[in-house]
């Protein structure tokens, strides 16, 4: 069976070596030695200002919204994973959907200002498939209207824009280290920010609001990453270069062998160093997508409709202002991409798609 992705498992000895350290330390969570080491390694490897690893990629979004959005209206994209909208609703804020750009598939920055009201407090946008939003334009809009910017950068591990980590844009960026993501800690994620004051605010919130054992700074929840998760991260991190170069091989193969008279590709924003995390293709119609999907599934190949349906169609959302997102969600399919995907499998996948 070939799925849209396959979790990278480091050699078990690498993981055992990290576990041994945990047993020696007799320490499982709360700012442990491995947790601190992973934080430092990530900061260095990614070139980011401040990082707080957390237990998944959803809680950091929620925490940032809790700090910034204040129950107001949050301008967001309907073309993302459900977590982007669900966290807004969960924080008792109101999602206001702005349509996406048909080529980049990220929020259309030219339509943001029209959606701003006096209740707007924040913008939460997704760098879809690691393709950056128009970060400079969004920053200018946010400055002008005094809004905070949060990026759901779940797909963006090692993505650089204009020579630096995409995580260095926005007031807060978040990433997911889920098993299906490019870099993983089993379950896991992180929050990135640009200054010490923000880091402090976010740190409190992710640890119950504790300010020392007997004092509370404010409201918090539990989003701490454990030593067991950090152990996986420290075991996977040394293989990232290899993982990314193998994924590049897969994406290059698709680029060279797919019949693009029937399909179109994601348009990457200029000045982006991409991470080969996903390979989305856009069909001319939903019908042709479904035909190809069925043929692939018949051969035990499982692409995924990331992201379907458009988040405006969630059962707890009552909005229909984004026709482009609704249309794209019906026509985009993510093909299998992972480091160990063989040339034979790639040949089979591309033949099925091209012959459909």
Ligand X SMILES: *Cc1c(COP(=O)(O)O)cnc(C)c1O
The DSSP symbol for 80 reads S
Binding mask 271-290 for ligand X (x = CB under 6 A): --------------------
Cβ–Cβ < 8 Å for 126, 135: no
Closer CB to ligand X, 154 or 258, in the complex: 154
Closest listed residue to residue 124, CA positions, set 159, 92, 158, 171: 171
Q: Which stretch binds ligand X (CB under 6 A): 56-64, 89-97, 260-268, 337-345?
A: 56-64
Q: Which 66-105 residues touch ligand X, going by CB under 6 A?
A: 80-81, 83-84
CA-based torsion, 190, 193, 198, 199: positive or negative = positive
User: To which H or E segment does residue 124 belong?
Assistant: strand 120-126
Cβ–Cβ < 8 Å for 97, 311: yes
Shortest Å, Cβ 14 to ligand X: 22
178 binds ligand X (CB under 6 A): yes
183 binds ligand X (CB under 6 A): no
C-alpha–C-alpha distance, residues 185 and 273, integer Å: 23
Q: Which stretch binds ligand X (CB under 6 A): 152-160, 210-218, 238-246, 316-324?
A: 152-160
User: To which H or E segment does residue 89 belong?
Assistant: helix 82-90
305 binds ligand X (CB under 6 A): no
Q: 58, 121, 168, 229: which one contacts ligand X (CB under 6 A)?
A: 58
Q: 5, 85, 126, 160: which one contacts ligand X (CB under 6 A)?
A: 126
Question: By beta-carbon distance, which residue lies closest to ligand X?
Answer: 57
Shortest Å, Cβ 267 to ligand X: 18
Closer CB to ligand X, 61 or 258, in the complex: 61
Which tokens in the block code for residue 14? Answer: 């690498």
Q: Which 26-55 residues touch ligand X, going by CB under 6 A?
A: none
My answer on whether omega of the bond before 307 falls inside 30° of 0, hence cis, is yes
154 binds ligand X (CB under 6 A): yes
303 binds ligand X (CB under 6 A): no
The region, left, alpha or beta by phi > 0 then psi within -120 to 50, assigned to residue 70 is: left
226 binds ligand X (CB under 6 A): no
Please report where in the chains the tokens 């926005």 appear, as a residue: 170
Shortest Å, Cβ 113 to ligand X: 24
- Sequential DSSP letters for 229-286: HHHHHHHHGGGHHHHHHHHHHHHHHHHHHS-TTSEEEPPPPTTEE-----EEEEESSH
By CB under 6 A, the count of residues binding ligand X is 14
Closer CB to ligand X, 167 or 253, in the complex: 167
176 binds ligand X (CB under 6 A): yes
332 binds ligand X (CB under 6 A): no
Shortest Å, Cβ 287 to ligand X: 26
Which tokens in the block code for residue 163? Answer: 């020579």
Shortest Å, Cβ 29 to ligand X: 17
152 binds ligand X (CB under 6 A): yes
170 binds ligand X (CB under 6 A): no
236 binds ligand X (CB under 6 A): no
C-alpha–C-alpha distance, residues 176 and 185, integer Å: 9
Residues in contact with 165: Cβ distance below 8 Å, sequence separation at least 6, in sequence order:
46, 47, 48, 158, 159, 192
| Residue numbers at the binding site for ligand X (CB under 6 A) | 56-58, 80-81, 83-84, 126, 152, 154-155, 176, 178, 189
């Amino acid at each position: 069976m070939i799925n849209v992705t396959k979790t990278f498992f480091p050699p078990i000895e690498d993981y055992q070596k990290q576990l041994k350290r945990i047993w020696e330390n007799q320490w499982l969570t709360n700012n442990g030695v491995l947790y601190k080491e992973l934080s430092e390694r990530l900061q260095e490897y990614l070139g980011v200002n401040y990082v707080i690893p957390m237990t998944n990629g959803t809680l950091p979004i929620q925490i940032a919204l809790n700090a910034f959005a204040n129950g107001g209206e949050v301008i967001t994209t309907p073309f993302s994973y459900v977590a982007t909208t669900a966290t807004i609703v969960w924080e008792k804020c109101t999602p206001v959907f702005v349509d996406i750009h048909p080529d980049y598939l990220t929020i259309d920055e030219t339509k943001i200002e029209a959606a701003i009201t006096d209740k707007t407090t924040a913008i939460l946008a997704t760098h879809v498939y690691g393709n950056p939003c128009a970060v400079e334009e969004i920053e200018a809009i946010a400055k002008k209207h005094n809004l905070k910017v949060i990026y759901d950068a779940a797909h963006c591990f090692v993505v650089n824009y204009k020579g630096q980590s995409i995580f260095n844009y926005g007031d807060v960026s978040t990433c997911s280290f889920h098993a299906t993501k490019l870099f993983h800690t089993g379950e896991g994620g992180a929050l990135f920010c640009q200054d010490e004051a923000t880091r402090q605010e976010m740190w409190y919130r992710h640890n119950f609001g504790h300010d020392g054992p007997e004092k509370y700074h404010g409201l918090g929840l539990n989003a701490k990453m454990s030593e067991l998760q950090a152990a996986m991260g420290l075991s996977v991190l040394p293989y990232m270069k290899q993982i990314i170069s193998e994924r590049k091989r897969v994406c290059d193969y698709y680029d060279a062998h797919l019949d693009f008279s029937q399909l179109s590709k994601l348009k990457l924003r200029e000045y982006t160093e991409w991470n080969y995390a996903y390979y989305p293709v856009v069909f001319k119609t939903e019908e042709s997508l479904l035909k190809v999907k069925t043929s692939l599934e018949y051969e035990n190949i499982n692409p995924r409709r990331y992201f379907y349906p458009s988040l405006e169609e969630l059962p707890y959302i009552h909005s229909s202002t984004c026709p482009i997102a609704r249309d794209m969600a019906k026509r985009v399919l993510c093909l299998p991409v992972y480091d160990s995907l063989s040339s034979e499998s790639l040949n089979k996948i591309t033949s099925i798609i091209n012959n459909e």
